[in-house]
Chain A
Amino acid sequence: MRVLKQNPWLPSLGVLLAAVMIAGYARADVTTDEPGSIVIFPKVISDGSRDTLIQLTNTSTSTQHVTCVYVDTSTASPGTCSGTTPPVQSCETDADCFANDNGFCVRCQALNYLISLTPLQPTVWRVSAGRDEADQDHGIFIGKIKPYPLFQGEVKCFQTDIDGVPIGGNALKGEATLENISSGQISEYNGIAIKAINAQTVMPTCVGGSKAGSTCSTNSDCDGTPSGVCNVSLSLDNSEYNACPRQLLVNHYGGGAEDPATGATVTSELTLVPCSESLETGPPTSTSVTFNEYNEFEQFVVSKIVPFTCWLNITIGDAQSGDPRITPGFDVSTLGSTFAKTRLFTSTGDQKTCAGGISAGNFCNADGDCTGSTCSGPPASGILGVLEEFHDLNGDPTGTAAVNLHVTGSRTLDTINLMPSQ
């Protein structure tokens, strides 16, 4: 049960705000143009050949505390089979899971770090190097983020109180710059901000166990017979926080198309992350994304459904290099034009999904549609993402560019669960 802190209120100002909202001018979308209370960097890479610089800024005139959660899907994070036979089976490769008919190997480790930003303070750190309070050569840094020489995934930063509990305030903005270390080529995109609508703090409560529903600060407060987990649940429902978009719109090259400006061959990577997540409190989120592609002739070319767990980085390339889940279809030969527009969406409302097993997150209508589980999962999570292009000209250093995706509509079904920073 959620517990809200009580504050004094001014009803006249509240009624005025309500009138503005009813008139239809209130904010209700994720944004890459304004500060928010949650900032999401969907594509963060550190692997020796690429690195990522994260810039995070406090746009308010008061000190802000921030919990940044690194969600790592690289081989540096432990793998767990997606199936349930047995429920938690460690793995290094998919083959380890196939041996037991236990799904495939999922890597999705979430770890949080607490930092603080003084009023109007910008800060920056490299994912490969991290940063801590010993590094004050180039400015103040309050907190500690460990180095990740190997990382592939997303980073989510939450505005929190001093105890690490998420609060509103909409003070954070950020950018991520990906660099190809050998060539020096860089791509930059804006962090995706989710604004808090309700500025009140949502208190953590025990989930599960004998103390379910009790307020807590750490997991130890939920110890009992059985024990539970201390969890904060943030609703992206246009009441507590802005909702995730209903659809993403992507303008992109056909896979392997020739850039008319330079003659370079262009491939793209589309990176998607789920809106709903249980960060450190539950299993990784599985969802299914529908890709509806249109070419320059307004022809509907293809529809593909791609399930994924935790993080998706899919290549839009030619017939050889394109990801087989969307190729043929997204390659320039099938597309029939140089440029395409694709709508991305997951299910909303009544569409059911598989609750677990190797079909976790897949759309379903009956239990028989789900291998190793039942058709009783939650509505598929919404998605957020970013696009990165790679322009290859005669093998010379490849030009790269990242761009934020366009969004349309909103869905009020998503929830982020996380632990208060320990």
Chain B
Amino acid sequence: MKFDMFRVHFGDVGEWNERRWAMQKTRRVASAVVGCGLALSVLGGVAAAQQPQLPASDKPAAILVWPKIVVDTSDILETSVGSTDTLIQLSSAVPTRGSKAGDLPFLKQAHCFYVDATGHCSNNPSAGCQSSDDCIDEGSGITGSCDPGWTEVDFDIRITPEQPLAWLASEGLQNGDFPIQVPGTCSNNPRIACTSDDRCGGFKCILQPSNAGSGIPPTPEDPFVGSLTCIQFDPSSNPPAPDTSPTANGLIGNAAIEVVLDETGGVDVQKYNAVGIEKLCTFPAGATNCTVGAPISDTLILGGPAGPAQYQGCPARLILNHLFDGAEDAFEGSGPVTTDLTLVPCGNDFLRQTPGKVTAQFLVFNEFEQRFSTSANVDCFFESQISNIDTPNNERSIFHFNVAGTLAGQTIIRGIGSAPSGQGLLGVARVFMDGINGAAYNLNEKGALSTPDVITIP
């Protein structure tokens, strides 16, 4: 079947040169791949193991980022539709060796940072807020401003091979809550916990991988809006340091934002995968070498020039597929759709308590291939209903159905800026039908940044 094609010519995209690249791409890429195939046959074929170029939400990694963690158990925030908490899941993807002794070297440590981006009311600094709507003093009628905040809390989790762990952000996990608390048991009596033979009265202390040494605090406040970043450490190094062993990419995770709905008493669950950034590795002769890049220190280099880069680089662009706000009948009889976008900088300075700062540029395309654009600052943490990104008046937004005129949209998000921590962005989106029933989904990525992002750790 053949179709008559037509194209709507829109504004110049010259700053990205995408159209010019597309015209040349077909010839050059096909040509290069043929040349590549010939070259590979000379050089000995495709490498047996290869590594993705961009962070991924579906592969084990060394750094996991959960861009959106929400706690509002008392349903205080104006945007909440019920008591809200986030269930965070973290698992080790390292395979078991089939014995406790065999698994002991593969115990991993996740060094984690809660980033608290909850704002506080100017007229009541102890009250958390997302907007000034949360800062209305009912007694005086005075509305305060919602002043943004950024603090971090760090903690450690030890996780054994194959082990799944989960905790509520509002509660954390303290000593006694972890599944495997005991680092070892005496060979003569498994009920006796031990860390050395001395404890076992002449018998052996059989050490095992355990969660001993772990402690997950509750989020520092409730309500809480922020993100979580975990970096895989090697607990056997002294002091523990970012893992550069062959199993350096061993963590997977996801988060479920769960709401007990005021309106129905039912439950709404919005689940997404944590975004994983892999430690760069090479695979000489079937082995795995993850010591690539500059020597590990308190500065983790994500992408950029090949020599110093230790981890994958952040994406040059994020792609958000969405329905335009206000669109109805996405499903038969369904009410207006809204989408909520959360963005966090790829890089952060946790040592000096300086958050990443990036300007996000948005290019919005509707089904007619028409283009709109806007930008917004991502200062530590950015969260907005998409039709509020460019205007407080939703119905006049380029993200609203009234303006876009079509149901579906594609928004390309690019980070720019000159902050020392870089210009990369990561994110997650949530779509709501009727403002209540929601679903979360990961954003897509395209291209790698040529400049590095940096995470500085204490």
Which A residues form the contact surface with B (CB < 8 A)? 7-15, 17-19, 21-29, 31-35, 51, 53, 55, 57, 59-63, 65, 114, 116, 118-124, 126, 128-129, 138-143, 162, 164, 173-175, 177, 179, 181, 183-190, 197-200, 238-239, 249, 251, 259-262, 264, 294-298, 300, 337-341, 389, 391-394, 396-408, 421-422
Residues of A within 8 A of B28 (CB): 10, 13
Q: List 19 A-B contacts (CB under 8 A).
A: A9-B35, A13-B31, A19-B43, A33-B54, A34-B444, A61-B19, A65-B3, A120-B369, A142-B5, A179-B331, A185-B437, A186-B437, A238-B46, A260-B168, A261-B87, A297-B179, A298-B96, A402-B271, A403-B254
5 new A-B contacts at CB < 8 Å, known A10-B32, A184-B434, A399-B266: A9-B38, A22-B40, A63-B7, A123-B367, A339-B89
Answer yes or no: B425 CB below 8 A from chain A CBs.
Answer: no
Question: A8 touching B264 by the CB < 8 A rule?
Answer: no
Give the chain A neighbours of B101 by CB distance below 8 A: none
| Stretch in contact with the other chain, from B118-126, B129-137, B157-165, B236-244 | B157-165
CA distance A104 to B87 in the complex (A): 41
**B445 and A15 contacting across the interface, CB-CB below 8 Å:** no
Q: Nearest B residue to A174 by beta-carbon distance?
A: B321
Whether B368 is near chain A, meaning CB under 8 Å from some CB there, is yes
Pair B269/A401 contact, Cβ less than 8 Å: yes
Task: Indicate whether A14 sits within 8 Å of B96 (C-beta atoms), given known contacts A25-B50, A124-B407, A399-B258.
Answer: no
Specify which chain A residues have a CB less than 8 angstroms from the CB of B209 in the assembled complex: 298
Cβ of B22 and Cβ of A397 under 8 Å apart? no
- Pick from B56-64, B191-199, B218-226, B373-381 the stretch touching chain A: B56-64
Cβ contact within 8 Å between B332 and A181: yes
Q: Give Cα distance in the complex from A229 to B406, angstroms.
A: 41
Could you tell me if B1 and A164 are in contact, using CB atoms closer than 8 angstroms? yes
Given A32-B57, A261-B87, A398-B266, decide whether A17 and B33 contact each other with a Cβ distance below 8 A.
yes
Contacting pair B437 A139 (CB below 8 A): no
Contacts of B23 in A (CB 8 A): 62
Report Cα–Cα, A337/B86, bound state, in Å: 19
**Is A119 touching B369 in the complex (CB atoms < 8 A)?**
yes
Looking at the assembled complex, report how far the CB atom of B208 sits from the nearest CB atom of chain A, in whole angstroms: 9
Which residue of chain A is the closest to B429 with respect to CB atoms? A188
Per-residue CB proximity of B438-458 to A under 8 Å, as 1/0? 111111111000000000000
Find out whether the CB atom of A402 lies under 8 angstroms from the CB atom of B442: no
Partner pick for B52 among A27, A57, A396, CB 8 A cutoff = A27
Pair B408/A55 contact, Cβ less than 8 Å: yes
Tell yes or no: B49 within 8 A of A by CB: yes
Q: What are the residues of chain B within 8 A of A164 when measuring CB–CB?
A: 1
- A-B complex: 8 closest residue pairs judged by Cβ atoms: A14-B35, A139-B367, A396-B266, A139-B406, A399-B267, A188-B439, A18-B39, A401-B271
Q: Name the one of B13, B40, B282 contacting A18, with C-beta atoms under 8 angstroms.
A: B40
* Shortest distance from the beta carbon of A270 to any chain B beta carbon, whole Å: 14
Instruction: Out of B59, B256, B267, name the residue touching A407 (CB < 8 Å).
Output: B59
Q: Say yes or no: B369 contacts A34, CB within 8 Å.
A: no
Q: How far is the CB of B301 from chain A (nearest CB, A)?
A: 15
Contact A393 B260, beta carbon cutoff 8 Å = yes
Say yes or no: A120 contacts B1, CB within 8 Å. no
Please tell me if the beta carbons of B2 and A122 are within 8 angstroms of each other in the complex. no
